[in-house]
Structure 1
């Protein structure tokens, strides 16, 4: 065992002990964060505009600070981008994380000198939690790859600006830099396909032990390696034993990815975003992710069904219940205030607080009043694939098809199969059956002949890649929306499938 693997074990034990204080006193940890960030931001423009000096309780905060998304806070974000100081947080941000919003266009999320540790320590602690639980640390002695955006940063308003994964690249601990791949030069390549070819050239002969990235882009990496060598990943990288991922639900990709590897490897799920590093999987056997409650972020939770109402309930951590869908709202030492990040979460445990990401609050289909959410279509797909075990997916999305004829509308599932079902009609029927079981409104529309059963459109190989390339979103941290309430994405994919 090498020095890094050896030293990681006492560090993992130390971090585990340190975290127990806030894990065992979650409400107190959140109250401490709340007081600290409100007090520190009193003299900012936002703090003065919202009377932070008078805020003593969460009830005061709810009265003073409405829930807003990026558009709702755009006046303040624009001032930050123009280089103004003391707008949302004291001073200027250390970075602006540039991200492609699905409803806001390009967003610029501030990362302060106070909040950068949340991103870096969260990722570190996810790996150390794995080491603590399993005792397996040998991966730290091999080569580690983080499939990420370019670390090249531009300046906006005098603030360094780039993709979050590129920013994080500048904060990889020195003791891991000698293990890290790809090289800085390769990581700076903007074109994803060119970059991927260079990553393969740099890694194919190396002892890769940890691979991290968003599952569909990792799958692209694996597919190219397999085509180039004719071997499964387990033979190319015999010591690859840990896969770290986040950003999307892994279930639709799990079977194909592990088939590509050729054997089981441990995996660690994380919940990162430009707005913060929120949670990570701390036990291999647990479904949920441990919510980080002492990391500069104060959380509020809105029952999803109330989100679009005029006065939604805003709950604190001690008020949430397991099994309920909540829209996640954060305030943080980055200068985000009652900011709706767009994700919905569901707690699977409250001792400690562990959650799953259940979908996007604005990603749903309700063209006919059914309000089908991402969690439901992904679960329907998972259950159908368990019955049709030959099926392997590359990617899929769901959109409504609205017909002018009575009872002729339906949900269209646009699927790019790696391995198609042997009986496509039976597979579609199983998907529909599972979705009807999961969503009673959808079931009522089918039973009442308002909707036809769902229809599958099998896309040609490479359709999603071609579409994402056409949108300038191929690779890196970009994700395909699982659901749309209109036809824009579906029509773009159908056009891409013709090539």
Structure 2
């Protein structure tokens, strides 16, 4: 006999599906409405007055008045909001700040408002409902669900609550899911990741787990501990586990490992959430890409990656994007971000409806485990390790090692030394400590024993030069990327190690 929740899930899913179809089939009109609402509602804010929102009647007007900004450029406005001033970027004060690891200015404070908060929650809910509508599978609705996330404990700053996005969202789990949801509040509040995972293992082992959700690298650690403790694959421990929900990093490198840990295939749903907004979710099991959320208080613009650093690059709306082109995604939102560059690059896999994949970052980075390490951070870490020593480095690049032959994954640093350190292991530890100090996500991964300390692989003299020559990029403006989110570069010059 179907339980009440299962019985209600299908009609609820059908209703949500129909609502989504309405805006997905009228994408240009939907985005135009979002755009007009944003401009109207923010006209009397300080940002709105500074940029003459009252005079904006079209996208072309907006482009003339509002330049593309990243966090650094928007920071003077954000600083005022953080100080407690009202009506700066959006009406009143935000409800929350999602605190994230900054790139050049320490922590970033991303506002979340009364208007934007529900869109984070609804998109996550709708992703599951769209899956139910497509597959007819509602069995998991009556089981236990786990969302591996940050601590829900929030701080307060000038009347605004402050925390990590996943911790903020934990306060908004719908009532009808509360009884099904794990871990317990107490376990979720444990700050030390390793202790937390141990507690989660104990709490979940006796339960009928049906949905497991989180960033793949964190979920992998949880799965490994389950297998270690029981000697069984996860699919045998949780016989009704049939849905894995993930986001944050590319799942592909983990897929084989996960299938081995689970012992069978399970359906999955990919999400594209960020502190700045919930942008997309997978709406079809057999279609590539995630459905862009056009009706969530976010107005999207896109700049071709190869034009991004030119003067006044063309800003496209969804009306004129093309499938397969690499775009920098630019957002204006009901949280008060305006023509804001979040740093991600996307490609459209479809324009009927609009579906995207995340293709990378506009700047080189490593986020194979959700760490968001950028070029500036690796350069500074190396500089700190070299300071007051005789060590000198000719060239280096960093790549993730996701599947080492033994032990935990790690960042592998390929370094061509001019003058080598006496003790390579100690030198690696110094770089690692300096990197942890700069990047809170990397620190968490090392502390949580998801990653081990970075390892250094020596590259022989002229190794990098020979590599650049072999790909026709020696000299001129060509630069070796300081880091990559895959191992393509380092696999192309194995003879140079």
Q: Which bin holds the TM-score, normalised by the shorter protein? A: 0.7 to 0.9
8 Å contact from structure 2 (residues 248, 370) kept in 1 = no
Question: Which residue does the alignment assign to 2:387?
Answer: none
Question: Which residue does the alignment assign to 2:47?
Answer: 46
- Aligned-residue offset at 1:310: 2.1
What is the distance in 1 between the residues matched to 2:43 and 2:373? 44
What is the distance in 2 between the residues matched to 1:30 and 1:219? 38
- Which residues of 2 match residues 344-363 of structure 1 at below 5 A? 344-363=345-364
Structure 1 residues 37 and 414 mapped into 2: Cα distance closer, same or farther (>3 Å)? Answer: closer
Gap runs ≥5 in structure 1: 365-373, 379-392, 403-407, 421-463, 491-499
Structure 1 residues 190 and 412 mapped into 2: Cα distance closer, same or farther (>3 Å)? Answer: closer
- Aligned-residue offset at 1:291: 0.3
Structure 1 residues 159 and 59 mapped into 2: Cα distance closer, same or farther (>3 Å)? Answer: same
- Aligned-residue offset at 1:18: 1.0
Tell me whether 1:2 sits opposite 2:3 in the alignment: yes
Tell me whether 1:486 sits opposite 2:451 in the alignment: no
What is the distance in 1 between the residues matched to 2:212 and 2:434? 26
8 Å contact from structure 1 (residues 115, 333) kept in 2 = yes
Name the SS for the 1:105 alignment partner. Answer: coil
What is the distance in 2 between the residues matched to 1:67 and 1:191? 38
Name the SS for the 2:100 alignment partner. Answer: strand
Name the SS for the 2:259 alignment partner. Answer: helix
- Which residues of 2 match residues 419-430 of structure 1 at below 5 A? 419=405
- Aligned-residue offset at 1:261: 0.4
Gap runs ≥5 in structure 2: 383-393, 407-430, 452-479, 487-497
Tell me whether 1:152 sits opposite 2:153 in the alignment: yes
Please list every run of at least 4 consecutive aligned residues from structure 1 whose deviation after the TM superposition is greater than 4 angstroms.
393-402, 408-412, 464-472, 487-490
- Aligned-residue offset at 1:417: 2.2
- Aligned-residue offset at 1:398: 11
Question: Which residue does the alignment assign to 1:454?
Answer: none
8 Å contact from structure 2 (residues 398, 483) kept in 1 = no
What is the distance in 2 between the residues matched to 1:396 and 1:67? 22
8 Å contact from structure 2 (residues 400, 485) kept in 1 = no
Tell me whether 1:111 sits opposite 2:82 in the alignment: no
Tell me whether 1:325 sits opposite 2:326 in the alignment: yes
What RMSD, in angstroms, separates the aligned Cα atoms of the two structures?
Answer: 3.3
Structure 1 residues 465 and 219 mapped into 2: Cα distance closer, same or farther (>3 Å)? Answer: farther
Question: Which residue does the alignment assign to 2:123?
Answer: 122
- Aligned-residue offset at 1:469: 6.8
Structure 1 residues 72 and 412 mapped into 2: Cα distance closer, same or farther (>3 Å)? Answer: closer
Deviations 1:37-91 (A, max 9, x none): 1001000000000000000000000010000011000001000101100000001
Deviations 1:365-417 (A, max 9, x none): xxxxxxxxx89xx9xxxxxxxxxxxxxx9999999999xxxxx9685544242
- Which residues of 2 match residues 28-39 of structure 1 at below 5 A? 28-39=29-40
8 Å contact from structure 2 (residues 328, 345) kept in 1 = yes
Question: Which residue does the alignment assign to 2:263?
Answer: 262
8 Å contact from structure 2 (residues 396, 482) kept in 1 = no
Question: Which residue does the alignment assign to 2:230?
Answer: 229
Q: With the length of structure 2 as denominator, give the TM-score of the two structures.
A: 0.78
Question: Which residue does the alignment assign to 1:283?
Answer: 284
Question: Which residue does the alignment assign to 2:139?
Answer: 138
Name the SS for the 2:226 alignment partner. Answer: helix
- Aligned-residue offset at 1:419: 4.5
- Aligned-residue offset at 1:105: 2.5
What is the aligned length? Answer: 417
Tell me whether 1:272 sits opposite 2:239 in the alignment: no
Question: Which residue does the alignment assign to 1:178?
Answer: 179
Question: Which residue does the alignment assign to 1:57?
Answer: 58
Tell me whether 1:206 sits opposite 2:207 in the alignment: yes
8 Å contact from structure 1 (residues 93, 112) kept in 2 = yes
What is the distance in 2 between the residues matched to 1:74 and 1:147? 31
Q: With the length of structure 1 as denominator, give the TM-score of the two structures.
A: 0.78
Name the SS for the 2:227 alignment partner. Answer: helix
- Which residues of 2 match residues 386-465 of structure 1 at below 5 A? 413-419=399-405
- Aligned-residue offset at 1:258: 1.4
